[in-house]
Amino acid sequence: MQRRTWRAWCALSALLLAWLVRPAMAQNIGFQLNRYEPTTVGEWSFMVDHPWYSSTRYIALGLTTNYGHNALVLGRLSSRGSFATLDPIIMHQLLGHFELATSLFDRVNLSFSLPVTLLERGEALAGVTPLAGAAVGDPRFSGQVRLYGHADKTPFSVHFAAAVWVPLRRFNDSIAPQVSEQTVRVSSKAILGGWYRKFRWSFTGTFLYRAEALLGQTVTIGPELQLGLSGSYADLFYRFAIGPEVLLSTVLTGGNAFARDYTSLETLLGAHYNIAHQVQVGAAVGLGILREPGTPDVRFLFRLAYAPIRRPPAPDFDKDGVPDKDDACPQEKGVADPDIRRNGCPLAADQDNDGIADQNDLCPQEPRGMHPDLKRLGCPLGDQDRDGVFDNEDACPKEALGDKPDPARKGCPLPDRDRDGVLDSEDQCPDEASGDKPDAKRRGCPTVQAPRDEAAEEAFLKSLQPIFFAKRSAKLDARNNETLNALADQLRKNPGRKKLLIRGHADKEGKAADSERLALERAEAIKNWLVAQGIAADRLQTKGMGRTLPMLPPEGEPESTSRRLQATRNRRGDFRPVDPVLSDGELKRVEEQERAALSEPAEPTERKTGPKTQKSRLDMLLDQVEREQGPQAEPAPREPNP
C-alpha cells in the first residue's frame, strides 16, 4: 500500500512539472520585464543580500517602491557595435513590492514578495504596449539558511538561499506579457558576508533558471548567472548604514554569455536607518551601465518597513558593564559608581566586594548584600534574630518569629511565656512549662507528681554520708564499707533516683593541679565500687572539686583545731543527687549529717598500721613530731649548717 501511494505521488508530481514547463518547449511569449528583485525586507541592502536572523529580529514587513527610467527602448546597433536610442517603449516604470519575512532558530529566514506594477508610460512599439493601469506580477517565495558564522556578528559567514516564482500568466492569459511569465522561475544562491569594525560586506552568486521567452518582436531572455557585491559603513549601535552595491547579470544560453545586449551591470548607492529600533527606512539611486531589456538607465528605490530590531549592547571596551559613553575609565575595568568622575573606574580598596570603596563604606568588612541600609552606606539591613524581618521593621528584633508568627506584631512569634512549645492562647498552665512529662488532659501543663515517700526519702538522705581517704590516697578502705553498702542499698531501692553526682575533694597540701587530679581519682574510685555492686554506670556522675570546697567544722568546735584534722576532713568524697535534685531543706540536712559524721570517729586513719607493737620506726617518729608541734605549732625553721 505504501509503495502504491509513493508511486501515485511521483506520477502526480511529474504531471504537474510537465504542465508547468510545457510552454518552454514551444514558443514562450512574454516575461517579467522588471529586472529588480528586492532583498529580504529588513536587510540593510537593496540588491545584494546580507541576511538577518532571529537574534536580530523575528519579523519584518514593508513596501519597496521602484522607479526605472527607460526600462525598454527601441534603438539601432551600428556596424561598430554602438547602440543609438530611437524611441523609448517604456520610459517610466513604477512598481511596489509588498514584502514579509520571518526568522526561526536564529538560522532560517523565510520571506515573500509580491510585485505590483503601478505605472508604465511610453509608446507602443515592436509589439510591446505600456500598461494602461496597474497589474500584479509573479509572487516570489524564498528562504535563506545560515551555514557558518553570522553576517552581523562575525567577519565571515556562509549562507545558502533559494527562491521560486509562481507564474500567474500560466493561469491568466489576460495579464500583460511584460508583467508575468508562463513558466516557473527558480534560483539558487550562495551568499558570503560579514561585519568587522563597522564595515559590512556581501558577495552573492546566483543561478536563475527561467525559460527562454520572447517579448514583442525581438526581445528575448533565458537562464542567467548573477554576481553581486556590496560594501557599506554600518554602525549597529546607532542603527544606520550607507554604501554601494553592484549587480552583474548575463544570459547563459545561445552563446550570449556576457554579450552586449544580454548582459546587465547595475550600480546603487543606498542608505538605511532604523528609527527607535522599530521602523526601518532606506533610499537608493542607481545607474544602468550595461543594459539588457528591463535595465533602466536610472533607478530610484525607497523602502519603508516595520522591522523591530533588538537593542545591541552599548560599546564597552573594558567589558565592565559600564558603557563607554558613561565610563570615566573606558580602558580600565571597574565598577559602576553614582559619581560620574568615578563611574566605571576600579576601586582602590573594597574588602567586602560590595562595590563601595572602603573609604566610604561604613561596614567595610560586611557586604551590603541584596538589602542595603539606606542610612548607612555599604551596610546591610540588620536582622539580629535571623528571621527574615529586618530590625528596622521587627517588633522583636532579638526573638525569631518562628513557625507561628504573631500577625499583630511583625517579626514576633505568638506568645509562649513558659517556652514549652504551647502557645499562651492554648496553654492551661502558661506560666509553668509542661516539661518531659506533659499532662495529657491539661494542654501545656506538667503531669502532677505523686507525693514522696517520706520514710524512703529519709533513709536515702541518711545513706549520703561522706567517704574518707588516707593522705594522698584514692584507695577505699574497710572503714567505709558500712556507708557504701547503705548507699548502694538505697540506690537499688530507689530507681527513681536517675543520677547521683559523686564529688571528690582534697586537702591543701601539694600543688593545686595534683589536688584536682587526686580529687577526681577519689570520685572515680567510689563510682567503680558502686558499679561493682550492680549500680548502673549511667546513673553515676563524677567530678573532681580539688581543694575548692573545704568541709565546715561541726558547730561548737574551736577554731584552733589542728591543720592535720582539717586536712583529714577534706580527704573525702560526698554525694549530691542530680535527678531528682535535693530541695534546700534536704540539702541542709545532708550537710548537718556530714558534720555529725566528723564528730563520731576521732580521725580517719591516715597510714596503715598494725598493732602498736608492730609500728615501724618511721611511724613512731612521725607521731612524736606531731605531738611536739601541738595544735597550732608551725614547722620549726631549719638552722643553717655551720
Ramachandran bin of 425, using left for φ above 0, alpha for ψ from -120 to 50, beta for the remaining angles: alpha
Helices (H) and strands (E) in the chain, counts: 7, 19
Q: CB–CB of 49/151 below 8 Å?
A: no
Partnered with residue 208 across adjacent β-strands are 187, 224
The rounded percent of the chain whose pLDDT value lies above 70 is 83
Confidence grade of residue 494 (pLDDT, cut at 50, 70, 90): confident
CA 111 – CA 55 distance, rounded (Å): 17
Instruction: Please say if the pLDDT value at position 292 is more than 90.
Output: no
Range with the largest mean pLDDT of 62-71, 368-377, 412-421, 594-603: 62-71
Confidence grade of residue 448 (pLDDT, cut at 50, 70, 90): low
Dihedrals phi, psi of 110, to nearest 5 degrees: -120, 140
- The pLDDT value given to residue 164: 96
Instruction: Please say if the pLDDT value at position 24 is more than 60.
Output: no
Q: Per mean pLDDT, which range of 58-62, 135-139, 160-164, 632-636 is the poorest?
A: 632-636
Instruction: Please say if the pLDDT value at position 297 is more than 80.
Output: yes
Confidence grade of residue 75 (pLDDT, cut at 50, 70, 90): low
CA 464 – CA 599 distance, rounded (Å): 16
Q: Which amino acid would we find at residue 266?
A: E
How do residues 178-190 score in pLDDT, each as one tens digit? 888 889 999 999 9
Higher local confidence (pLDDT), 330 or 116: 116
Q: CB–CB of 387/372 below 8 Å?
A: no
- The pLDDT value given to residue 79: 56
Higher local confidence (pLDDT), 301 or 398: 301
How do residues 83-130 score in pLDDT, each as one tens digit? 566 678 888 999 999 999 999 999 999 999 999 999 999 888 877 888
CA 120 – CA 394 distance, rounded (Å): 81
Q: Within 10 A of 575 (CB to CB), how many other CB atoms are there?
A: 22
- The pLDDT value given to residue 549: 85
Instruction: Please say if the pLDDT value at position 62 is more than 90.
Output: yes
- The pLDDT value given to residue 528: 94
- The pLDDT value given to residue 28: 78
Range with the largest mean pLDDT of 206-210, 484-488, 508-512, 573-577: 206-210
Confidence grade of residue 25 (pLDDT, cut at 50, 70, 90): very low
Q: Which three cell numbers stand for residue 362?
A: 561604613
- The pLDDT value given to residue 634: 38
Q: Is residue 4 helix, strand or coil?
A: helix
Q: Per mean pLDDT, which range of 208-222, 295-309, 513-527 is the poorest?
A: 208-222
- Angle CA 520–522–523, to nearest 5: 65
How do residues 513-524 score in pLDDT, each as one tens digit? 888 999 999 999
Higher local confidence (pLDDT), 602 or 538: 538
Instruction: Please say if the pLDDT value at position 499 is more than 90.
Output: no
Higher local confidence (pLDDT), 191 or 465: 191
Instruction: Please say if the pLDDT value at position 631 is more than 50.
Output: no
Overall average pLDDT of the 322-330 stretch:
81
Range with the largest mean pLDDT of 33-42, 208-217, 353-362: 33-42
Ramachandran bin of 175, using left for φ above 0, alpha for ψ from -120 to 50, beta for the remaining angles: beta
Do β-strands 540-544 and 298-306 pair in parallel, antiparallel, or remain unpaired?
unpaired
Higher local confidence (pLDDT), 164 or 11: 164
Instruction: Please say if the pLDDT value at position 637 is more than 80.
Output: no
Q: Per mean pLDDT, which range of 191-200, 382-391, 592-601 is the poorest?
A: 592-601
Q: Which domains does the chain have, with CATH numbers?
A: 30-306 (2.40.160.40), 415-447 (no CATH), 454-599 (3.30.1330.60)
Higher local confidence (pLDDT), 283 or 600: 283
- The pLDDT value given to residue 80: 60
The rounded percent of the chain whose pLDDT value lies above 90 is 31
- The pLDDT value given to residue 261: 79
Instruction: Please say if the pLDDT value at position 219 is more than 80.
Output: no
Overall average pLDDT of the 258-278 stretch:
90
Q: CB–CB of 41/144 below 8 Å?
A: no
CB-based burial of residue 636 (10 Å sphere; 0-12 exposed, 13-18 middle, 19+ buried)? exposed
Element holding 8 (H helix, E strand): helix 2-25
Q: How far is CA 250 from the centre of its chain?
A: 58
Confidence grade of residue 558 (pLDDT, cut at 50, 70, 90): low
- The pLDDT value given to residue 559: 59
